[in-house]
Amino acid sequence: MKEITLIEAVNQALMYEMARDENVVVLGEDVGVNGGVFRATVGLSEKFGPERVIDTPLSEALISGMSVGMSVQGLKPVAEFQFMGFTYPGFDQIINHASRMRNRTRGRLSCPIVYRAPYGAGIHAPEHHSESTEALYSHIPGLRVVIPSSPARAYGLLLAAIRDPDPVVFLEPKRIYRLFKQQVPDTGEALPLDQCFVLREGKDITLVTWGAMIHETMQVAEKLEEEGIEAEIIDVATIKPIDMDTILNSVHKTGRCVIIHEAARNCGVGAEIAAQIAEKGLMSLLAPVQRVSGYDIVVPLLQLEKYYMPSVERILGHVHHIMEYA
């Protein structure tokens, strides 16, 4: 079986679901003829035609709003924004209409939409191309927010998101779009939403993360193993709603927790996880919960970007700090 990258897994999932369900349509800027800014939709227009793979004008408000209209009329739109920082003009339609439609109509209508966007830093791009503002969307009732961290999870979670009857914000960490490959069987098998994935089991410390930061966190676990420290790694995957049961069970076992994300620290998703651990798992803790995050600034340009993002060294420093607690 051929190994594929994360971006190829996104394409494979779109291909599968469009062939399976004729109500699935793809829309966005340059998704048709050009195959998408990162090539996620390459080949779709040739296979399914311009009526189902729609090149839109350069208007994110139009993309988000048109998706709402399509979805309440029985279609299942998968809308692509070229970068997460470009989603903000569409924010009005997403939070005022897509997220509220089921409640507003008392269940008579829903919005089965997937809003896809590459997100995160690490490719030396300008500020709006490097946003990690997942917390904005995770605060909105009625939205799911899903972030894959590998080709296999991108494939299975995207299938699940398209099949979900409510709107899903699907954020793809572009730094790892082509970083590594996996075998991803094209079976159409979805992965469960609203569930963390335990990527590595350990007894000494819990490392909680998602998206591209899985890459650095796995490296940290390997270095800790050389020191005789067994780290458990949890990929949150769905950050709204958060599967706190899996996280709390791990913290109960290890007694220590470090949360890693590249988004700005203030009011980040890591703060919500830390708060829930304090509320529901305080008596299991042997040390204070630590957060390793980006800084409360706009992502800096070019070479300064690497100082903004959590590094293996920064994560290790926090781990060593809380391992000193008795």
Sheet of 231-235, strand order: 197-200, 231-235, 205-209, 257-264, 290-294
Rg (CA), the chain: 20
Beta bridge partners of 209: 235
Q: Kindly state the DSSP code that residue 318 receives in the 8-state scheme.
A: H
Q: Choose the catalytic residue: 97, 129, 215, 261.
A: 129
Q: Does residue 247 contact residue 222 with C-beta atoms inside 8 Å?
A: no
Secondary structure letter of residue 144 according to DSSP: E
Instruction: Specify whether 129 is catalytic.
Output: yes
Cβ neighbours around 105 below 10 Å, total? 11
- DSSP label of 123: S
Q: How many angstroms separate the CA atoms of 85 and 67, rounded?
A: 19
Contact criterion met (CB below 8 Å) for 10 and 146: no
Of 235, 227, 186, 172, nearest to 209 by C-alpha is 235
Whole-angstrom distance, CA of residue 79 vs CA of residue 269: 24
Classify burial at 259, counting beta carbons within 10 Å of its beta carbon; exposed 0-12, middle 13-18, buried 19 or more.
buried
* 150 close to 230: Cβ distance less than 8 angstroms: no
Q: Which residues are catalytic?
A: 129
